[in-house]
Amino acid sequence: MQSLKGKTALVTGSTSGIGLGIAKALAAQGAQIVLNGFGDVQAAQSEIAALGVTAAYHGADMRRPGEISDMMNFAADRFGRVDILVNNAGIQHVARIEAFATERWDDVLAVNLSSAFHTSRLALPGMYANNWGRIINIASTHGLVGSVEKSAYVASKHGIIGLTKVTALETATTGVTCNAICPGWVLTPLVQKQVDARALAMGLTNEEAKKSLVGEKSPSQQFTTPEQLGALAVFLCSDAAINVRGAAWNMDGGWVAQ
Ligand code: NAD
């Protein structure tokens, strides 16, 4: 039985990686999907359509509040309302603070944090009207702990966990919930760039660099997969999760248990 039939899910940054994995998991449960992101749109749309649901797309740039507003209006016009909002779009920039380009700081904060404020404020009225909604913010282990050279990313991810808590408190007596998922390393295009940089800097093969990256932080020495994160998102959308509110749920091979 498909548990999300009749629901509409909007997943930001869902043309690749974790966002696409979560969109596919929600689609497999029958949810109609609104995709967003700058990757291969046609490929992502066909993967979702193959699961038997509609896959609409809006190309809003998550740095721009006006375009986010257009995307939310587009979703409401097309499907009536957004029932499940997954704030997933994210970017990374790696440099020490004194060398961190200020425009990169602004972009990381805008995409990773402010966009979730804008989508949430625009989705909540429809969710309240229907007394049902799920907001899932994709944070990171870097929302719970720091790492060198990732000031903007760590600040944005700590920030989105704060936003998650406030959203959860403001919705606490309703059928709307808000939670964060905190993945450890997931082998997506975002992380492959860091694997490539490590391979180059340390003279390693791609396989050696992957092992060295994941082993450094993750006691399990395993990458988390988009499919595993999709299954957690489906659980957070279930009736059984109605009292899970304001959680920052790590799926990280034990990274933050240390
Ligand atoms: P990814 O690079 O594969 O996907 C990022 C998505 O965001 C893509 O669809 C991209 O097109 C989109 N995007 C980027 N800038 C955008 C913008 N301005 N407007 C709209 N869309 C934009 O990366 P991923 O690893 O799948 O990351 C997804 C989320 O998971 C991010 O929030 C990231 O911080 C988080 N995360 C990733 C990992 C990991 O190890 N990969 C770990 C923890 C958290």
Same domain, 145 and 192: no
Same domain, 192 and 104: no
Residue 63 · residue 12 · CB < 8 Å: no
Same domain, 141 and 43: yes
Please write the tens of the pLDDT for every residue from 148-174.
999 999 999 999 999 999 999 999 999
What percentage of the chain has pLDDT greater than the value 70? 100
CATH code of the domain covering residue 251? 3.40.50.720
Please write the tens of the pLDDT for every residue from 66-105.
999 999 999 999 999 999 999 999 999 999 999 999 999 9
Residue 192 · residue 178 · CB < 8 Å: no
Residue 2 included in any domain: no
Per-residue pLDDT at 189 exceeds 90: no
**Amino acid at position 109, single letter:** L
Report the separation in Å between the CA atom of 140 and the middle of ligand 1, taken as the mean of its atom positions.
11
89 ligand 1 Cβ < 6 A: yes
Same domain, 204 and 84: no
Active-site option among 57, 105, 153, 255: 153
Give the separation between CA 160 and CA 140, rounded to whole angstroms: 9
Residue 161 · residue 180 · CB < 8 Å: yes
Please write the tens of the pLDDT for every residue from 215-233.
999 999 999 999 999 999 9
State the closest ligand 1 atom to the C-alpha of 112, by its place in the atom list counted from 1: 32
Residue with tokens 């969710």: 127
Active site residue 57: no
37 ligand 1 Cβ < 6 A: yes
Residue 1 included in any domain: no
Structural domain count, the chain: 2
Neighbours of 44 (CB within 10 A): 24
Per-residue pLDDT at 17 exceeds 90: yes
Same domain, 169 and 191: no
Neighbours of 207 (CB within 10 A): 10
Give the separation between CA 170 and CA 189, rounded to whole angstroms: 35
230 ligand 1 Cβ < 6 A: no
Q: What is the pLDDT of residue 216?
A: 92
Q: What is the pLDDT of residue 36?
A: 98
Per-residue pLDDT at 1 exceeds 90: no
Taking alpha carbons only, the member of 63, 174, 182, 172 closest to residue 119 is 63
Overall average pLDDT of the 248-256 stretch: 98
Residue 184 · residue 255 · CB < 8 Å: yes
247 ligand 1 Cβ < 6 A: no
Domain of residue 214, residue span:
187-223
Same domain, 129 and 207: no
Overall average pLDDT of the 178-192 stretch: 95
Mean pLDDT score of the chain: 97
Residue 171 included in any domain: yes
Q: What is the pLDDT of residue 100?
A: 98
Same domain, 182 and 201: no
Q: What is the pLDDT of residue 190?
A: 84
Q: What is the pLDDT of residue 19?
A: 98
Same domain, 133 and 204: no
Q: What is the pLDDT of residue 173?
A: 98
Q: What is the pLDDT of residue 220?
A: 97
Taking alpha carbons only, the member of 121, 166, 160 closest to residue 144 is 160
Residue 32 included in any domain: yes
Same domain, 13 and 85: yes
Please write the tens of the pLDDT for every residue from 192-203.
999 999 999 999
Which three-class secondary structure state does DSSP give residue 95?
Answer: strand
Same domain, 125 and 179: yes
Residue 3 included in any domain: no
Residue 63 included in any domain: yes
